[in-house]
Structure 1
Amino acid sequence: MIQDPFFYLVAIPAVLIVGISKGGLGGGLGLIAVPLLALAVPPTTAAAIMLPILCLMDLVGLWKFRGKGDARCLKTLLPAALVGIVLGALSFRYLTDDHIRLIVGTIAISFTLNYYLRKSSQQPRQQNLARGSFWGALSGFTSFSVHAGGAPLNIYLLPLRLEKQAYIGTTIVFFAAVNYIKLIPYGMLGQFNTDLLTTSAVLAVLAPVGVLTGAWLQHRINEGVFYHLCYGFLMLAGIKLFYDVFSH
Structure 2
Amino acid sequence: MTLDAMFFAFAVPAVLFAAISKAGFGSGAAFASASILALILEPAQALGVMLPLLMLIDVASLRPYWRKWDWAATKLLILGAVPGILVAIWLYQVANADVFRFLIGAISLLFVGYQAAGAWGLMKPRQTPLGPVAGFISGIVAGFTSFVSHAGGPAVAIYMLSQGVSKTTYQATTVIVFWIVNILKFVPYAFLGIFTWNTLLADLILAPVALIGTWLGVRAHHMVPERLFFALTYTLLVVTGSKLIWDSLDHLWRA
Q: Taking structure 1 as the reference length, what is the TM-score of the superposition?
A: 0.94
State the partner residue of 1:183. Answer: 186
User: Is there any run of 5+ residues in structure 2 with no aligned partner, and where?
Assistant: none
Please identify runs of 4+ aligned residues in structure 1 that moved more than 3 A.
Answer: none
Specify the SS of the correspondent of 2:195.
coil
Question: In the alignment, is the contact (CA less than 8 A) between 2:3 and 2:202 conserved in 1?
Answer: no
Deviation at 1:178, TM superposition (A): 0.4
Question: In the alignment, is the contact (CA less than 8 A) between 2:27 and 2:175 conserved in 1?
Answer: no
State the partner residue of 1:83. Answer: 83
Question: In the alignment, is the contact (CA less than 8 A) between 2:129 and 2:164 conserved in 1?
Answer: no
State the partner residue of 1:171. Answer: 174
Deviation at 1:87, TM superposition (A): 1.7
State the partner residue of 1:53. Answer: 53
Provide the rounded CA distance (Å) in 1 between the counterparts of 2:165 and 2:50. Answer: 28
Question: In the alignment, is the contact (CA less than 8 A) between 1:2 and 1:196 conserved in 2?
Answer: no
Provide the rounded CA distance (Å) in 1 between the counterparts of 2:17 and 2:134. Answer: 29
Deviation at 1:48, TM superposition (A): 0.6
**CA offset digits 1:187-226 (Å, max 9, x no partner):** 1112222111001111111111111101111222222111
State the partner residue of 1:231. Answer: 234
| Count of residues paired in the alignment | 248
2:57 partner amino acid:
M
Deviation at 1:186, TM superposition (A): 1.1
State the partner residue of 2:200. Answer: 197
Let me know the Cα RMSD of the aligned residues: 1.6
User: Is there any run of 5+ residues in structure 1 with no aligned partner, and where?
Assistant: none
Asked if 1:246 is matched to 2:249, the reply is yes
Q: Percent identity at matched positions?
A: 33
Provide the rounded CA distance (Å) in 2 between the counterparts of 1:140 and 1:199. Answer: 25
Deviation at 1:75, TM superposition (A): 1.7
1:139 partner amino acid:
A
Provide the rounded CA distance (Å) in 2 between the counterparts of 1:81 and 1:26. Answer: 17
Deviation at 1:107, TM superposition (A): 0.6
Alpha-carbon spacing, 1:209–1:90, altered in 2? closer, same or farther (3 Å): same
> 230-239 or 151-160: which moved more?
151-160
State the partner residue of 1:115. Answer: 115
State the partner residue of 1:133. Answer: 136
1:184 partner amino acid:
V
State the partner residue of 1:101. Answer: 101
1:73 partner amino acid:
A
Deviation at 1:123, TM superposition (A): 4.6
Provide the rounded CA distance (Å) in 1 between the counterparts of 2:101 and 2:42. Answer: 9
Provide the rounded CA distance (Å) in 2 between the counterparts of 1:149 and 1:26. Answer: 11
Specify the SS of the correspondent of 1:247.
helix
State the partner residue of 1:32. Answer: 32
Provide the rounded CA distance (Å) in 1 between the counterparts of 2:33 and 2:112. Answer: 14
Q: Taking structure 2 as the reference length, what is the TM-score of the superposition?
A: 0.92
State the partner residue of 1:67. Answer: 67
1:54 partner amino acid:
L
1:113 partner amino acid:
G
Deviation at 1:146, TM superposition (A): 1.7
Deviation at 1:3, TM superposition (A): 2.3
1:36 partner amino acid:
I
> 24-33 or 106-115: which moved more?
24-33
Provide the rounded CA distance (Å) in 1 between the counterparts of 2:223 and 2:115. Answer: 22
> 50-59 or 129-138: which moved more?
129-138
Question: In the alignment, is the contact (CA less than 8 A) between 2:141 and 2:155 conserved in 1?
Answer: yes
Deviation at 1:27, TM superposition (A): 5.1
